[in-house]
Structure 1
Amino acid sequence: MALPYVLLSAAVSLDGYLDDTGPDRLLLSGPADFDRVDAVRASVDAILIGAGTLRADNPRLLVNSPRRRADRVAAGRPEYPLKVTVSASGALDPEARFWHTGGEKAVYTTDAGAERLRGTAVADAAAVVSLGAVLDWRRLLEHLHDERGVRRLMVEGGGTVHTQLLQRQLADEVQLVLAPLFVGDPRAPRLFGPGAYQGGRLRLVESRSVGDVVLMRYEPTAPGAAGAAVPADRHWLRIACELAARCPPSRTAFSVGAVVVAADGTELARGHSREGGDPVVHAEEAALARIDPADPRLAGATVYSSLEPCARRASRPRPCARLILDAGVRRVVTAWREPDTFVEGADGSAVLAGGGAEVVVLPEFEEAAREPNRHLGAP
């Protein structure tokens, strides 16, 4: 199932706190960063906060700029993004500003929370969606994507929500603002809580000053495990599709890109079809050839290929599915199953599965993977 692009947004003090313990909210950002956040809000389809943030901050979650709202309308979008809150208990204040400003609202809750909200003013102001006996973040995101058309979701807090999304490997990006002050009170709320997070290092995408604060944007890099897809899988498969577009054109072979990534998110190699002047080299073959066969990281690596690795080929003795298995790789993520254009009944996934490898198909990338092959008339 497809999920929205999930962007976590937060501002923290130099010692990692979201707020202090005073009666008023601690303003960590300044006017320049508030305007930046407004621009990000205007770019997304929905904004989500947890019930704790709703109670503590009583936010409106609006796009404040009239120009940005007008641009949304001109582009055929609602004036305001969908506003979403999450509450397992359903204990929500109907007088909160959240319900009385902006456009559409939604509450994601449990069966018990939905029963509590039945017939209340909150249920009149917002769509109430039950996720079952317990809150299930993946199911929530799938519902936003499939039922509400949300492709980009901005999450503005609080710390518990951010922690849960990161620990479940459901966040595509972290936008973290570092404010030049200290809180120093251990009772104050922190951005991230204890627990198991993804392995490896995050990738720093951007770092810049915004007034007197610093914005840092990070992306996860570590692949998923077994058949579960995570945001980093989408990042790497997107790169594989971009590599496919670099292939020298051919009327007799597909254009394919491939990337090999270690379990900690380290890129081991990349390649694309017909690179280096070799008219028959395949993308996975080219990438694997750049890695020492004795590299112990191969056993935990993932191969990302824009097209399903081949099961049979005439130009070389071993097809790419067999090369992957022989290298010790046991996880492959692809965008597109190989059509019968050149090899009838090709089924590289079956070869891989028969060798003990897990194959994950992300169909949302199929169009990008097909694009460099349109001239072949592949179905």
Structure 2
Amino acid sequence: MAQHRPHTTVVLAMSADGKIADFRRSPARFGSGADQAHLEKQIAASDAVLFGAGTLRAYGTTLTVSHPTLLQHRIKEGKTPQPVHIVITQSADFNPEIKFFKQPIPRWLLTTTAGATVWQGCSEFEQILVFETSTGTIDTTAALQYLASIHITRLVVLGGGQLVASMVHSDLIDEFWLTICPLILGGTTAPTPVEGQGFFANLAPRLKLLAVEQVEQEVFLHYQVQRTLD
């Protein structure tokens, strides 16, 4: 790792044309039961889950660990039944009535000074983490270093595309699990796994394919981010 931080894995399902939602940015529910089980397995193996406010607004909820075998395995390892679910957002502007705030999970907020003010004195979040750059944006690198210092060693990143892009740009992603689903969404404004400004081809991060698995009509791709050329 380039710095002391958790091992990070992006887990996303996308259409065959590389979209993680339609042009209206509706909740992406096109993954199969196998994809749902795969996602739950990845979450169960983590110490914490990280996702942006846009993802939270779209779904209004998060995926919890419910399979008895996965729960039992976490308990055997001395972990809590659910990993910490961390929302990363600058504004922290979302509805406190959504289902997410009623789910039996540890909820943390990673935000700016301004975002923390919105939820100060409220009970919805067990912890509010403020890591801010000199320009008033979230210092994700510092935040991940802090998570490592409190023994969060495995972090699953669930999107959206802007969050993943910023983390890729800062070299904060180690692996990708991408599920290719059998549909075409299209749309120039439909979000992709990695948004942002993009990379020139000669400077683009390179991946090493670790595994390919087909389950019925879906393909599961496991990539590792390469930091040195082989």
Is contact 2:56-2:62 (8 Å) kept? no
Is contact 1:30-1:212 (8 Å) kept? no
Between the aligned partners of 2:10 and 2:25, the Cα distance in structure 1 is 26
Amino acid at match of 2:176: V
Match of 1:115 in 2: 117
Is contact 1:47-1:61 (8 Å) kept? no
Of 142, 146, 149, the residue aligned with 2:145 is 142
TM-score normalised by L of structure 1: 0.55
Match of 2:131 in 1: 131
Name the % identity: 27
Between the aligned partners of 1:163 and 1:97, the Cα distance in structure 2 is 27
Amino acid at match of 1:129: L
Amino acid at match of 2:143: L
Amino acid at match of 2:129: V
Where do 5+ consecutive residues of structure 2 fail to align?
none
Amino acid at match of 1:13: S
Match of 1:328 in 2: none
Between the aligned partners of 2:8 and 2:18, the Cα distance in structure 1 is 22
Between the aligned partners of 1:112 and 1:22, the Cα distance in structure 2 is 28
Name the SS for the 1:106 alignment partner: strand
Match of 2:216 in 1: 211
Is contact 1:99-1:126 (8 Å) kept? no
Offset of residue 211 of structure 1: 3.0
Between the aligned partners of 1:102 and 1:210, the Cα distance in structure 2 is 31
Alignment of 1:1-379 (within 5 A): 2-21=4-23, 25-122=27-124, 125-132=125-132, 133-147=136-150, 149-193=151-195, 194-196=197-199, 199=204, 201-223=206-228, 265=229, 267=230
Distance 1:23 1:114, change over 3 A: closer
Name the SS for the 2:75 alignment partner: helix
Amino acid at match of 1:74: K
- Residue-by-residue CA offset, 1:33-82 (whole Å, 9 max, x unaligned): 21111111111111111011000111222012122112211221100111
Amino acid at match of 2:209: L
Aligned residue pair count: 222
Higher helix share: 1
Bigger-Rg structure (1/2): 1
Match of 1:250 in 2: none
Distance 1:78 1:195, change over 3 A: same
Moved more, 67-76 or 35-44: 67-76
Amino acid at match of 2:144: L
Name the SS for the 1:166 alignment partner: helix
Between the aligned partners of 1:118 and 1:164, the Cα distance in structure 2 is 27
Distance 1:154 1:187, change over 3 A: same
Where do 5+ consecutive residues of structure 1 fail to align?
224-264, 268-379
Higher strand share: 2
Between the aligned partners of 1:110 and 1:38, the Cα distance in structure 2 is 29
Name the SS for the 1:220 alignment partner: strand
TM-score normalised by L of structure 2: 0.89
